[in-house]
Amino acid sequence: MELYDTVRLLVDLPEEQLKAGAVGAVVHVFDRPRLAYEVEFTDGDGRTVAQVALTPDQVQLIS
């Protein structure tokens, strides 16, 4: 995955009030200490509701 890719959340994140299936955008890619993606999730009005660092197994690229 790359910067600005659209991804789908594969796991529930109750602490962020996000459920599996939520759609977000990759806003940063971390290479160290291990691969991770900062993903921004927004509401229907485009307001950020959560911005979370996620591992590759927690998100799926939407083509």
pLDDT at 63 over 90: no
pLDDT of residue 45: 95
CB 42 within 8 A of CB 17: no
List 8's β-bridge partners, or say none: 23, 60
Residue 13 has pLDDT above 90, yes or no: yes
Query: Are 48 and 41 in contact, with CB atoms under 8 Å apart?
Result: yes
Tens of pLDDT along 16-59?
A: 999 999 999 999 999 999 999 999 999 999 999 999 999 999 99
Instruction: Provide DSSP, 23-59.
Output: EEEEEEEE-SSS-EEEEEEE-TTS-EEEEEEE-GGGE
Q: Is the whole model's pTM more than 0.95, yes or no?
A: no
